[in-house]
């Protein structure tokens, strides 16, 4: 077994602490970004849902599920399609 002196142990401890801090910072940044992305998605879905109900009336469960499962990009594409669409099906059809 190798003996580690106090100087070496100090370097190991500092490196360990620095690694933990860097990992925690990266984890917090990723968590924040994921939370912001989820918030943007939920906001876009809520806005589109209100607009669709106002234009076409109550949404079917299938349409609501489609909104709930859609990506932010898909929600934005549907929002862009809304002004020209004559039916709900035209809005929610695959791009």
User: pLDDT of 36-93, one tens digit each?
Assistant: 889 999 999 999 999 999 999 999 999 999 999 999 999 999 999 999 999 999 999 8
The torsion angle over the Cα atoms of residues 85, 86, 91 and 93, rounded to 10 degrees, is -120
Between 50 and 21, name the one with better pLDDT. 50
Identify the band that residue 17 occupies on the pLDDT scale cut at 50, 70 and 90.
Answer: confident
> Which pair of tokens denotes residue 72?
């932010």
pTM for the full predicted model: 0.71
* pLDDT of res. 95: 56
58 phi and psi, to 5 degrees?
-55, 140
Of the candidates 57, 47, 54, the one whose C-alpha atom is nearest the C-alpha of residue 78 is 47
């Amino acid at each position: 077994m190798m003996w580690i002196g106090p100087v070496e142990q100090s370097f190991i401890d500092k490196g360990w602490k620095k690694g933990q801090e860097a990992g925690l910072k990266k984890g917090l940044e990723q968590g924040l970004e994921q939370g912001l992305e989820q918030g943007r998605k939920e906001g876009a879905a809520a806005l589109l849902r209100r607009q669709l109900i106002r234009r076409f009336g109550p949404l079917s469960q299938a349409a609501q599920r489609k909104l709930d499962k859609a990506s932010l990009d898909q929600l934005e594409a549907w929002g862009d399609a809304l002004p020209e669409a004559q039916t709900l099906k035209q809005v929610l059809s695959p791009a």
